[in-house]
Amino acid sequence: MLFKSVLVTGGFGFIGANLVRKLLSDGARVRVLDDLSRGDAANLEGLEFDVVIGDVRDPHAVSDAMSGGVEAVIHLAAFGSVTESVGALGDNFDVNVRGTVNLLQEASRRGVKKFIFASSGGAVVGRAPLPVSEDSLPRPVSPYGASKLCGEAYCHAFAGTFALPTVALRFANVYGPFSYRKRGAVTAFIKALLGGHPIVIYGDGSATRDFLFVDDLCQGICAALDTALEPGTVLHLATSVETAIIALADELRAIAGRPCHSIRFEEPRAAELSRNFANFDRARRLLGFVPRTPLTAGLELTWRWFRAHAAAPRLLDEN
């Protein structure tokens, strides 16, 4: 591991819980900056790392978090919901844009050697010929996507103006252990299966997504940390596999041993894309990134994790 001291913002969230474990097992010293608005300290219980509880919108918290020789920043903290961003324009903008600029400014001031920004594939690119890639014209459909594109633009500008070595990684639809607070299809369907409720599909089930297992994503993030890249680089971390939501529901019903579990169809939601999957050739070429976990295997691991933790009330109750 190139950098010994890494700040992970949003480390108590779903991806953070998996990434911090990987960074620690790779030998890094980790500090987490999180305001606990969506994350849970219990996700990292028993592990050795530093914590700053604070908001990325607060320059003092950001300065505290970057003090003491942080070499690299992985910026995961975000207002992370496409559908909620429609009704919360100000908060979405403040956290995802102003928060990101605060971090970039502090990182630049302190001479941080690598700044990785968690961006998003489909949300940033919008409706475009598929599969989307780094060459697709970004035209976000949701306020969330617009704020992530804005974050990417600031990363590029800080690379250009202040020579900050930034990388924006556009994540596909990530799933896996610790995702119990997420609102995405995998989490919602598993909760429905465990709770005995109908699976709810918005639309007719033909919408598609590119589902990436969180371990594969974390490999990609760590490869981006360890690889010298041109400042301002943008890369898709995805599988290039297009999966219909109805096929996902069928996979999970089969894994749960309930192939006839009921499905309820509801109206499609505003700001969601009808189809999306991404090409990851550039990440393969520059990082050696290759997702290794087939969807069925990843869903089985996720299902087993949820089943093993189902006794914890927070798992099924919280959103």
Ligand X SMILES: NC(=O)c1ccc[n+]([C@@H]2O[C@H](COP(=O)([O-])OP(=O)(O)OC[C@H]3O[C@@H](n4cnc5c(N)ncnc54)[C@H](O)[C@@H]3O)[C@@H](O)[C@H]2O)c1
**What residues are labeled active site?**
144
Q: In the 8-state DSSP scheme, what is residue 111? A: T
Alpha carbon distance, N-terminus to C-terminus of the chain: 35
Tokens encoding 313: 């009330």
Q: Is 232 in the site for ligand X (CB under 6 A)?
A: no
Whether the Cβ atoms of residue 151 and residue 97 lie closer than 8 Å to each other:
yes
CB of 209 to ligand X, least distance (A): 9
* CB 63 to ligand X: min, Å: 14
Q: Select the residue interacting with ligand X from 6, 7, 8, 15 (CB under 6 A).
A: 15
| Burial classification of residue 113, based on how many CB atoms lie within 10 Å of its CB (0-12 exposed, 13-18 middle, 19 or more buried) | middle
Q: Is 138 in the site for ligand X (CB under 6 A)?
A: no
The string of DSSP codes covering 126-179 is: BS-SSSB-TTSPPB-SSHHHHHHHHHHHHHHHHHHHH---EEEEEE-EEE-TT-
Q: Which of 3, 10, 125, 155 binds ligand X (CB under 6 A)?
A: 10
The alpha-helical segments, DSSP class H, found in 12-142 are 14-25, 59-66, 82-85, 89-93, 99-109, 121-125
Window of 14-22, 196-204, 243-251, 310-318 that interacts with ligand X by CB under 6 A: 14-22
Residue 140 is a binding residue for ligand X (CB under 6 A): no
Q: Is 132 in the site for ligand X (CB under 6 A)?
A: no
| Residue pair 164/71 in contact by the 8 Å Cβ criterion | no
The answer to whether 220 contacts ligand X (rule: CB under 6 A) is no
Residues 40-99 that bind ligand X (CB under 6 A): 55-57, 76-78, 80, 95, 99
169 binds ligand X (CB under 6 A): no
Q: Which stretch binds ligand X (CB under 6 A): 6-14, 127-135, 226-234, 283-291?
A: 6-14
**Which residues contribute to the site for ligand X (CB under 6 A)?**
10, 12-16, 34-39, 55-57, 76-78, 80, 95, 99, 118, 120, 171, 173-174, 181-182, 184
